[in-house]
Amino acid sequence: METTKVALIGFGTIGTGVAKILLEHADRMQKRTGRKVELTHVVDLDLTTDRGVSMPEGVLTDDLQRVLDDKEVTVAVQLIGGTDQARTVMLQLLESGKDVVTANKALLAQHGEELFERARELGQSIAFEAAVAGGIPIIAAIGQSLAANQFLSIHAILNGTCNFILTEMEEKGINYSEVVAEAQRLGYAEADPTMDVDGTDAAQKLTILAQLAFGAVVDWKEIPRIGVDQVDLDDMHYADELGYAIRLLAIAHLSDAGLELHVSPALVEKGTLLADVKGAFNAIRVIGDAVGRVFFQGLGAGQDPTASAVVGDLIDTIVGRAQLTFKTSNLWSSENGRAPVRDPNEIEGCYYMRFNVDDRPGVMAELTGVLGSHGISIASVIQHDVGRCSVPLVIMTHRASAGAVASAFAKIKSLDCVHDDSVCLRVHERPE
């Protein structure tokens, strides 16, 4: 039986999960690939920390050059985080003739165009199932299984940390900062959770999905994004009263006007698939012109679910499928067409707004006057008597453009009768 030699670059949480499967389930790897799969190098600067994996002598090294020089290593699993060193290593691996599997979404969102182009020139492949939604096989689904479809939309919960935070706030009635502290304690949130909670992580993943499903080439920094750090417990309560949950949604929606892309906390009708996603799960609802609606839910992070995706790609690469997929999918290539991305200000939607206003006559007229002058009509209003001189006023709008809404919202915030802590959130429309 032939042997495929594999190198692992980055021996952190995910790398440890991958190494465990390769070393502890060698029989499974052999059965799935029809070959012997040998982990020959694990490269990391930290050679001392015990990861709980029993490694054969000489495999662990801090010298990447050993991998680059070993022509018998044909597949490399690249699990270095960040974008600078990861890019350099990725290029080195490709240039030394290795097919690469990676889980690094920031790297692909930032340098996908360069890396894929280089891989194509060199005749190597890049597989990246683990880069989006961890264990959920969404890259294979969109790129291969559902390839008969013209995709119409993707509505997704792509950050488990944010979903954990939102659903904990919702269920336990505790505020944002307390939940973040709890998430950090449980290991669901990083010590510095900024990239998760401000929507960066979801926007990077959406960039990859938008390329895969729609051929859109977009700088993730240009995707409008609002993080869950903008969500207040009060808004959860009003949303609940109105029949909605709040979820951080990453949306790609194709229409005749182009492709709409954004990441933001949105009011999602209770009882729908996306509103029902609880805890650290990810979920993706894809609509294709033939298949209709397909929904996926699973763990989007964590050692084992991410290792499942990485090793799935590794099997695909060893078997030779990944190379065929890479070649025909032409990602980030001009041959793939480039779907036009819509001006975010033109995107229409319904909105939820909350203001703290003076409790006196004329205030409602003043606010609704601003909305009216921006062409925004009101669907419903909630104002409870809370017995204070400043009262919360919640307004649900009919469809309006994001630009008009942003302008009206800024204008209302500047009114003397409106106090701090104003909030404006999208309302997710349930598609037909």
Catalytic residue flag (residue 205): yes
Which of these ranges, 91-99, 152-160, 308-316, 377-385, lies near a copy of itself under the rule CB under 8 A? 308-316
Cα gap 306→280, rounded to integer Å: 13
392 part of the interface to a copy of itself, by CB under 8 A: no
For residue 27, what are the β-bridge partners?
none
Task: Tell me the closest approach of the beta carbon of residue 12 to a copy of itself, in angstroms.
Answer: 17
Q: Interface residues for a copy of itself in 148-177 (CB under 8 A)?
A: 148-150
CA pair distance 245, 75, nearest whole angstrom: 44
Q: Which of residues 13-32 bind a copy of itself (CB under 8 A)?
A: 17, 21, 25, 28, 31-32
Asked whether position 293 contacts a copy of itself by CB under 8 A, the answer is yes
Residue 324 interacts with a copy of itself (CB under 8 A): yes or no: yes
> By CB under 8 A, what part of segment 270-289 binds a copy of itself?
273, 276, 288-289
Q: Which is nearer to a copy of itself, 385 or 432 (CB)?
A: 432
Q: How far is the CB of 152 from a copy of itself (least distance, A)?
A: 13
Site string for a copy of itself, 75-114 (x = CB under 8 A): ----------------------------------------
Closest CA to 64 of 95, 35, 103: 95
Q: Does 304 bind a copy of itself (CB under 8 A)?
A: yes
In the complex, what is the shortest distance from the CB of residue 113 to a copy of itself, in angstroms, rounded to a whole number? 19
Binder among 251, 315, 350, 367 for a copy of itself (CB under 8 A): 315
Question: Which CB, 44 or 316, lies closer to a copy of itself?
Answer: 316
Owner of token pair 């030699």: 5
Comparing CB distances to a copy of itself, the nearer of 297 and 356 is 297
Of the candidates 205, 278, 411, 413, the residue annotated as catalytic is 205
Q: How far is the CB of 285 from a copy of itself (least distance, A)?
A: 9
DSSP letter string over 55-110? --TT-EES-HHHHHH-TTEEEEEE---SSHHHHHHHHHHHHTT-EEEE--HHHHHH
Residue 284's SS3 state is strand
Residue 140 found at the interface with a copy of itself (CB under 8 A)? yes
Q: Is position 268 an interface residue for a copy of itself (rule: CB under 8 A)?
A: no
The only residue of 108, 132, 136, 245 in contact with a copy of itself, by rule CB under 8 A:
136
Instruction: Determine whether 289 is exposed, middle or buried from the number of CB atoms within 10 Å of its CB (0-12, 13-18, 19+).
Output: exposed
CB 20 to a copy of itself: min, Å: 9
Which residue lies nearer to a copy of itself by CB, 217 or 299?
A: 299
Q: Which of 169, 249, 299, 370 binds a copy of itself (CB under 8 A)?
A: 299
Dihedral sign, Cα of residue 172, residue 177, residue 180, residue 184: negative
Crossing angle for the helix pair 26-33 and 13-24, to the nearest 10 degrees: 80
Give dist(CA 47, CA 329) in Å, integer. 38
Q: Which stretch binds a copy of itself (CB under 8 A): 70-78, 108-116, 166-174, 306-314?
A: 306-314
Largest distance between two CA atoms of the chain? 84
Name the nearest CA neighbour of 426 among 255, 239, 293, 283: 239
Q: Residue 1 burial by CB count (10 A; 0-12/13-18/19+): exposed, middle or buried?
A: exposed
Question: Residues touching a copy of itself: how many (CB under 8 A)?
Answer: 56
Classify residue 347 as exposed, middle or buried by CB count within 10 Å of its CB (0-12, 13-18, 19+). buried
Q: Which is nearer to a copy of itself, 110 or 153 (CB)?
A: 153
Phi, psi of 223 (to 5 degrees): -80, 120
> Binding a copy of itself by CB under 8 A: which of 91, 122, 146, 379?
146
Is 320 among the residues that bind a copy of itself (CB under 8 A)? yes
C-alpha to C-alpha distance for 166 and 280, rounded to whole angstroms: 10
227 neighbors 221 (Cβ within 8 angstroms): no
* Phi and psi torsions of 351, nearest 5°: -130, 150
73 contributes a contact to a copy of itself by CB under 8 A = no
Tokens 């959406």 correspond to 206
Regarding 328 and contact with a copy of itself (CB under 8 A), the answer is yes
Residue whose CB is less far from a copy of itself, 187 or 320: 320
Give the phi and the psi of residue 157 in degrees, each rounded to 5. -105, 105
Which one among 305, 353, 424, 425 touches a copy of itself, defined by CB under 8 A? 305
Query: Whose Cβ is closer to a copy of itself: residue 146's or residue 406's?
Result: 146
CA-to-CA separations, 154 to 59, 159, 195, 414, 432, in angstroms, rounded: 41, 15, 22, 35, 14
Catalytically active residues are 205
Q: Which residues bind a copy of itself (CB under 8 A)?
A: 17, 21, 25, 28, 31-34, 129, 135-137, 140-141, 144-150, 273, 276, 288-299, 302, 304-305, 307-312, 314-316, 319-321, 324-325, 327-328, 336-337
